[in-house]
Chains A and B, each alone.
Chain A
Amino acid sequence: MDRWFLIFSTLFAVIAGVWGMISVHRGSRSPWTVSWMVAVLVCQLGFLSLRGQQRAACPLADFGEILVFLSWSLTLFYLLVGPAYRISLLGVFTAPVVMVFQAVALLPGILDSQPAKIVGGNPWHETHAATSVLGYGALALAAVAGVMFLVLDRQLKEQHLKSGLFRNLPPVRELLVSLERLLWLGGGLLTIGITAGFIMPHEGAALGHLLAAVSVWSAYALLLGVKSVRGLTGRRLSLLTVALFILSLGVFAFI
């Protein structure tokens, strides 16, 4: 049953992305993107709820669950940020990322087919896992906003202003403001996650994971520090946000 939730969620993400792209190609914005993404979120909640019951804990025990939790977090932040800032096109860019993460989670062997109950769970461990992945969701959405900025920047620079995509992309300044806010939000959540990670009881094997997490946190802190103190061009900020997010996924290799 949990897989069906995930399959439907992925299908809704495909529809949101494809439908949205077709609309944009035709020069308009699909009013349904938000609705499809709500459907994605509901199915993700169904999946996570069932897995949570099976695990009797926050469902972050295997790589597949982490990917779905990350996708849920990404969708949630899109739904909080996109409509509020009238960046509905963010959904068209977010949907493919959600689709890829969940498609990977659906690959054989990624999700435990018989999820074992977690015994002796620690609240600091769950706080660490949940807030860290939530933080990654915000950082993923920042990377999506970064990609949108790079597309718009290129079109403005090369004066290719006729496409439907150009007409529907939000303004440069709004994208950069959203990107920066998402970086602060993601960074804040990551700080809580890492702090909880240090407090929770851990074995020597977790050292690599913690070191990788601290490196990621430091890189984001440096990025935000440089942006605040010295300033950064939109292009560099976006490129670094995208690159950092891709590199930061490596943290999960140490779990």
Chain B
Amino acid sequence: MELICLGLNHKTAPVEVRECFAVGNTKLGASSSELIAMTGVSESVVISTCNRTEFYLVGPDARLAFDRLEAHLADTIKVHHIAKPHFYRMEKSAAARHLCRVVCGLDSMMLGETEIFGQVKHAYQAALEAGSTATVLNKLFQRAFGVGKKVRTETTIQTGSTSVGNVAVDLAEKIFGHLKDSQVMILGAGEMSRITAQSLVSRGARSIFVSNRSYDRAVELANDMGGQAVRFDDWQSVLERVDIVISSTGSPHAIIRRADVEKARRARKFRPLFFIDIAVPRDIDPAVGEIEEVYLYDIDTLEQLAQEARSRRQQQIDDCERIIDAELAKLNLPGT
């Protein structure tokens, strides 16, 4: 029995190619079953995420399995011949190693991301329930999940936020804990504000106020976020209520000055206030950060923190590869 992997990902194929091969979450099991119906294939697992689609097959002959799979893809997906150069092919130990790298997030767009672990687990579970796995893939996937857990506990590849939005959210959680009780105000309805606010909402922030010079855009973003639009002249009155302010206007000068915050302090009973200034030029006067209960972070600081996390993750790659090699050496898997 020989193990093979055929796949494409964000490094080898653009999104317009990847989307042609994407398999919906609910169809992963059926897709795996279709593959074992082919002669020369005894086991299969199909993994499909927004950044990759991969087919793990086991058969008596690797070359035959590749041919059957490609023929199947050519039959079912019309653009397969155009997409062929975007596919990578791996066999035996290289395929096993690749799976472990995928599970550990080493092959992800965002190095060390953890979501892929769950996605692969879901794909394996679907194949298992569809009866398309047996000894080889069961052993391989179980070991890959073990490797993923070991990498998570023994290295720091998955720690630290690597994007400005996530760094801001981590800081917000360090200040306020669970964000479900936190109110957020967005000044400026630009893309960066939207992304950062979405990160906050994804971690539980509920009350969102959006203020923008163009009220229509504020309403639009507020509707998208399930929040409330505020006229730009009124943002100071909202400052009394909120815990987090994200500012990203296109203003050439500071919008939030120390005096504005000083005015709101008493009404806020001096509760902590977190300012995230992602505008260039900056929207928030640096003097605001001198106020006792205020924590002010600008785009440079957030980007620097994200960069440091990315560098720390890069430094961990060798350690992760060593763990993968050591664990696979112990596996002694037929087909690899």
Q: Enumerate chain B interface residues (CB-CB to A < 8 A).
A: 156, 171, 173-177, 266, 268-272, 289, 292-293, 295, 297, 301, 305, 308
Chain B residues, Cβ within 8 Å of A236: 270, 292
Given contacts A159-B297, A159-B301, A161-B305, contact A233 B292 (CB under 8 A): yes
Count of inter-chain pairs, beta carbons less than 8 A: 50
Docked Cα-Cα span, A152 to B174, in Å, equals 9
Do B266 and A171 touch across chains, with their CB atoms under 8 A apart?
no
Do B174 and A157 touch across chains, with their CB atoms under 8 A apart?
no
Do A171 and B295 touch across chains, with their CB atoms under 8 A apart?
no
Do A172 and B272 touch across chains, with their CB atoms under 8 A apart?
yes
Contact of B295 (CB < 8 Å), options: A157, A162, A231: A157
Do A172 and B301 touch across chains, with their CB atoms under 8 A apart?
no
Within A11-42, the residues touching B (CB, 8 Å) are 27
Docked Cα-Cα span, A222 to B173, in Å, equals 31
Indicate with 1 or 0, residue by residue over A122-150, a CB within 8 angstroms of chain B CB atoms.
00000000000000000000000000000
A174 close to chain B: CB less than 8 A = yes
Contact of A173 (CB < 8 Å), options: B156, B171, B176, B289: B176
Do A231 and B266 touch across chains, with their CB atoms under 8 A apart?
yes
Do A173 and B175 touch across chains, with their CB atoms under 8 A apart?
yes
- Nearest B residue to A175 via CB reads B177
Chain A contact patch, size range:
20 to 34
Chain A residues, Cβ within 8 Å of B270: 231-234, 236
- Nearest A residue to B177 via CB reads A171
CB distance from B159 to the nearest CB of A (A): 8
Chain B residues, Cβ within 8 Å of A152: 174
A170 close to chain B: CB less than 8 A = yes
Do B173 and A171 touch across chains, with their CB atoms under 8 A apart?
yes
- Nearest B residue to A227 via CB reads B269
Docked Cα-Cα span, A231 to B267, in Å, equals 9
Docked Cα-Cα span, A162 to B308, in Å, equals 10
Do B174 and A172 touch across chains, with their CB atoms under 8 A apart?
yes
Docked Cα-Cα span, A233 to B271, in Å, equals 6
Do A171 and B175 touch across chains, with their CB atoms under 8 A apart?
yes
CB distance from B248 to the nearest CB of A (A): 20
Do A172 and B292 touch across chains, with their CB atoms under 8 A apart?
no
CB distance from A254 to the nearest CB of B (A): 35
- Nearest B residue to A159 via CB reads B301
Most buried by A among B174, B269, B292, B297: B174
- Nearest B residue to A166 via CB reads B174
- Nearest A residue to B312 via CB reads A162
Chain A residues, Cβ within 8 Å of B289: 157
CB distance from B181 to the nearest CB of A (A): 8
Do A231 and B271 touch across chains, with their CB atoms under 8 A apart?
yes
Do B292 and A235 touch across chains, with their CB atoms under 8 A apart?
yes
Chain A residues, Cβ within 8 Å of B292: 233-236
A156 close to chain B: CB less than 8 A = yes
Chain B residues, Cβ within 8 Å of A233: 270, 292-293
Chain A residues, Cβ within 8 Å of B176: 171-173
- Nearest A residue to B267 via CB reads A231
Chain A residues, Cβ within 8 Å of B268: 231
Chain A residues, Cβ within 8 Å of B156: 27
Closest 5 CB pairs of A and B: A231-B269, A171-B177, A233-B292, A233-B270, A231-B270
Contact of A174 (CB < 8 Å), options: B177, B266, B295, B297: B177
